[in-house]
Chain A
Amino acid sequence: MTNTCLTFRDLTLGYGSHPAIHHLDGTIRKGSLTAVVGANGSGKSTLMKGIVGVLKPMAGEVIRAPGVRAAYLPQQSELDRSFPARVVDLVSLGLWPRRGLLGRHTREDRDSVSQALMAVGLGGFEKRPIDTLSGGQLQRTLFARVLLQDADLILLDEPFNAVDAKTVGDLIALIKHWHGEERTIMVVVHDLDLVRQNFPETLLLARQPIAWGETRETLKPENLLRARRFHEAWEENAPWCEPDEHTHDHDHHGHAHDHDHEHHHGAGPRAA
C-alpha cells in the first residue's frame, strides 16, 4: 500500500520476558494524526520506542515505508541539562539527519535553527545556556529540534507534561501545522478532552489495543471501561504465550479496515 507509513505485524515489545505491547497488528496511514492513549503501563511509550527502533521487538516487526525518516521526542529525555551547551547547540542537533557527523552547518542551517526557535516562540533564545531554561521552555526547545529534523514521521511521547495551558495551545498549533503538511504524527496524550478536540484518530492501548480508529468512536465509555480493567502488574508465573495459537486466532478476523463492529472497536485496523 502506498499510503501506509507504518505497518505493525504481530508486534510484541517488552522487557525481560514480559510483553508491554502484545501482538499488535495494524497500519498507520501516511499523513494521519493519531493520539495514543491508555493507562500507566499500557505500553504507549514502549510502542514509541519500538517504532523509532531504540527497543528491539521480542516478536513480530514494525515496518516503515521506505524513505520515511522519524523524529522522536521521548517522555523521559536522557538530556543532560548540566552539559555546557546553549539553546542553539541543542536545537542544532536536529540538523543531524541532514548534515550527519561531518557535514558543515551552513549559513542557511543557522537561519533554519533561528526560524525553528521563532516558530516555538523562543526567538532570541539562541545564546541562552540550557540550564537556565524553565521546563516549558525546554520542552519548546525540543519541539524546535523536532521541527528542524524535518521528519516524515513524528513521534511525541507525552509532550504536554508540565507545560502550561498557553504553551500547550502553541504546541498543538504546531502539531496541526505539521498535520497540514501531510506529515504522519503519533502523540502519547493523557488528557482525553485534548484528544477529543484535536486528534482525528486514536489508538487506545492496554498492552493490547482496546480500540483503534476514529477518536469519537474509540473513546466511547465502554472502551474506556475495558481499558481501565486491564491488569497493569506483570505476573511472574503467567503462562507462556504460544505464538501458533495466537496467529490462528487472528486469522479469523480477516484484515484491516473492515468496519467490524462486532469486535468492540472503531473503524481502525483490527484490534483483538
Chain B
Amino acid sequence: MDTLYGLFIAPFADFGFMQRALIGSLMLSLGACPVGVFLMLRRMSLSGDAMAHAILPGAAAGFLFYGLEILPMTIGGLIAGVIVALGAGAVSRFTIQREDASMAAFYLISLAIGVLMVSIRGSSVDLMHVLFGTVLALNDEALTLIGGIVAVTLVSLAIFWRALVAECLDPLFLRSVSRLGSPVHFIFLGLVVLNLVGGFQALGTLLSVGLMMLPAAAARFWTVRVEPMCVLAVLIGFASCIAGLLMSYHASLPSGPAIILSAGVVYFASILFGTRGILRARIIHHRHRTA
C-alpha cells in the first residue's frame, strides 16, 4: 500500500506545484478534448496544429513588451490566433481556396513573424519556454484563466452542439434551414484558439494541440457516436495528464512532453485494440452472421 501511495498519491498530496499542475491540466482536458473531437471530425486536425503555431507571434509580442508575464502573452496569443483563424476561415469560405491551403499560408507567415520577434529580444531559453511551456509553474493567475476558458468552452459547446453536429454532418442542409452555418464555424474556430491559448502556458504553443488531438484521435477507435466520443476523449485526456505528471515527477522528465506522450501511448493502444482498431478488424472478425 505504501509503495502505491508513494507512487501515485504522495506527489500530488505533498507538493503544491503538483496539485496546481494536476488541476490545470485536468481543466485543460475538459475543454480541449471535446473541441479536439470536432476538429478531428471536421478533418481539421492539422489546422489545429497550424493554429497553434499561429499563436506564437502574439505571445511573442506580449513577451517582447512585458517579459515572461502570463496575461499579456495570453492576450497577444489570443489576438494572433483569432486573426489567423478568421483570415484563413474567411478565405476558405468566400474564395475557391480550401481551408488547408489558406490555413497553411496564414500560419507560416504568422510563425515567421513570431520567431523573428522572439529572437529580437529573447535568449533561446525564453524561446524554449514559449514553445514548450511549463505546467509545473502554473500560478493562480494561469489557473483562473484556464478555468475561465474551460467554462466558456463548455457553455458554448452546450449551446451550439446541435448546430455544430449539423455543420459537420451535412453543412448544405444546415444552410438550407438556418443561417447559423457560418457563425458556428467561426465560433468553433474561436474555441480552438481559446483552448490552444489556454494550453500554451502549460504545454507550450507546439504541444498544446497535442492534448486536443491525441485523446480525440484515440477515442475515434472506440465508438461510433459523437457524445460518447467526447466523453471518452476527456477521460483519455485525464488519464494522460495524471500519467504524464507522475512520470515527470518520478523520472524528472519535462512535464509537457510526458503528458502528450502518455496520450500517444493511449492512441497507439487504441489503434491496435480499439473496437474499430486493427486487431478487431483484421484478425478477430472472421465470423459473420447470416443477415
Contacts and interface: CB of A to CB of B under 8 A. Distances in A.
Interface of A: 52-54, 70-72, 74, 77-80, 83-86, 89-90, 93, 96-97, 100-102, 129, 145, 149
Interface stretch (B124-132, B164-172, B241-249, B254-262): B164-172
Contacts of B165: 85, 89
Interface of B: 41, 159-160, 162-163, 165-166, 168-178, 180, 220, 223-226, 229
A149 B166 CA distance: 15
B160 A101 contact: yes
B175 A96 contact: no
A74 B177 CA distance: 13
Given A84-B41, A84-B223, A84-B229, A93 B180 contact: no
Given A53-B176, A54-B175, A77-B170, 9 more contacts: A70-B176, A71-B176, A78-B172, A79-B173, A86-B224, A89-B225, A90-B170, A97-B177, A129-B224
Given A83-B41, A85-B225, A101-B160, A77 B172 contact: yes
Contacts of A74: 172, 176
A93 B173 contact: yes
B172 A96 contact: no
A101 B163 contact: yes
B157 to A, nearest CB: 13
A101 B180 contact: yes
Contacts of B220: 84
B177 A79 contact: no
B229 to A, nearest CB: 6
A101 B180 CA distance: 9
Contact of A96 (B41, B171, B178): B178
15 contacts: A54-B172, A54-B175, A70-B176, A74-B176, A78-B173, A79-B169, A79-B170, A79-B173, A85-B225, A85-B226, A89-B169, A96-B178, A101-B162, A101-B163, A102-B162
A84 B226 contact: yes
Contact of B166 (A52, A86, A96, A129): A96
A177 to B, nearest CB: 22
Contacts of B173: 72, 77-79, 93, 145
A84 to B, nearest CB: 5
Contacts of A78: 170-173
A102 B226 CA distance: 18
A145 B172 CA distance: 14
Contacts of A129: 224
B169 A85 contact: yes
B261 to A, nearest CB: 26
Nearest to A84: B224
A86 B225 contact: yes
